[in-house]
Copies of this chain bind each other. A is one copy, B any other.
């Protein structure tokens, strides 16, 4: 079993309730890597027997640090039609009834239509042309990925926050909605591209729009995806990030946005 699948594994307790456990491998400084938390919340929906279609949108709000250990995920379909399904999920721990993270999601059955990709991926070399990047020697979760930055330098006053990076699971694993979700939170916090020193940060809200069906996701296989990300604004303790995740054959797999808390 791949380490990512081990990490996001959930035991179904029935009635939309699941039990999981934090993973040492996907641990961040004081709580799990936010991409792990988002993938776990989506996984509860993906594993629910009522599920219709595939993920179209996912919003995860991070309310408080998750502690090391067991957690519960409650996932509930709020309304379903023949082709769409609206979900809400919450992650709680121990005796605290208030959620530490919440998610809402729309699932949808995709169909054949007139299609057009307006955005274009940047013209960059292959992943092998660049070196693997490990930002913090003591931080575990980045070692779970093979990340290669081809634009943007960490902890430097770059003239903009735009980065291009290749990313895949360090131990190869076929791409799916859960792993793409985690990857959408795996880019550098944008403030590290505009300031020379590292500052405390934390993702407050993560939004993902999935643009590929299950077949397209499968075709990606274990290849690295190309991530494009940048910030619009850093203001009064919060900055944003806009990102695109490109797959093989110039397929736009996901667009993703987040708001991040920062301290000077």
Using a CB–CB cutoff of 8 Å, the interface residues on chain A facing chain B are: 56-57, 59, 61, 63-64, 78-79, 81, 84, 86, 88, 90, 98-100, 102, 104, 106, 108, 110-119, 160-161, 194-195, 204-205, 207, 209, 211-213, 230-238, 240, 242, 244, 252, 255, 257, 259, 261-264
Give A233 to B244 CA distance when docked, in angstroms: 11
Please judge, given known A-B contacts A115-B234, A117-B235, whether A104 and B61 are in contact too, CB under 8 Å.
Answer: yes
Query: Which residues of B lie under 8 Å from residue A86 when comparing CB positions?
Result: 61, 63, 99, 102
Please judge, given known A-B contacts A56-B259, A114-B234, A240-B211, whether A78 and B98 are in contact too, CB under 8 Å.
Answer: yes
Query: Which residues of B lie under 8 Å from residue A238 when comparing CB positions?
Result: 56, 108, 110, 211
B113 contacts A98, C-beta separation under 8 Å: no
Please judge, given known A-B contacts A79-B64, A102-B88, A102-B104, whether A236 and B116 are in contact too, CB under 8 Å.
Answer: no
Give A110 to B235 CA distance when docked, in angstroms: 9
Please give me the residue from chain B that is nearest to A231 by CB atom: B118
Query: Which residues of B lie under 8 Å from residue A113 when comparing CB positions?
Result: 234-237, 262-264
Query: Which residues of B lie under 8 Å from residue A117 when comparing CB positions?
Result: 232-235
Give A78 to B100 CA distance when docked, in angstroms: 9
A255 contacts B257, C-beta separation under 8 Å: yes
Please give me the residue from chain B that is nearest to A236 by CB atom: B110
Give A238 to B236 CA distance when docked, in angstroms: 34
B110 contacts A207, C-beta separation under 8 Å: no
Please give me the residue from chain B that is nearest to A162 by CB atom: B118
Query: Which residues of B lie under 8 Å from residue A237 when comparing CB positions?
Result: 108, 110-111, 113
Give A79 to B100 CA distance when docked, in angstroms: 8
Query: Which residues of B lie under 8 Å from residue A104 when comparing CB positions?
Result: 59, 61, 102, 104
Q: List 15 A-B contacts (CB under 8 A).
A: A59-B59, A61-B86, A61-B104, A63-B86, A64-B81, A79-B100, A104-B104, A106-B204, A106-B205, A110-B235, A111-B236, A113-B236, A113-B264, A118-B160, A233-B255
B204 contacts A207, C-beta separation under 8 Å: no
| Residue among A211, A231, A242, A252 with max Cβ neighbours from chain B (10 Å) | A211
Query: Which residues of B lie under 8 Å from residue A57 when comparing CB positions?
Result: 61, 204-205, 259
One of B99, B213, B231, B261 near A78 (C-beta < 8 A): B99
A106 contacts B56, C-beta separation under 8 Å: no
B79 contacts A119, C-beta separation under 8 Å: no
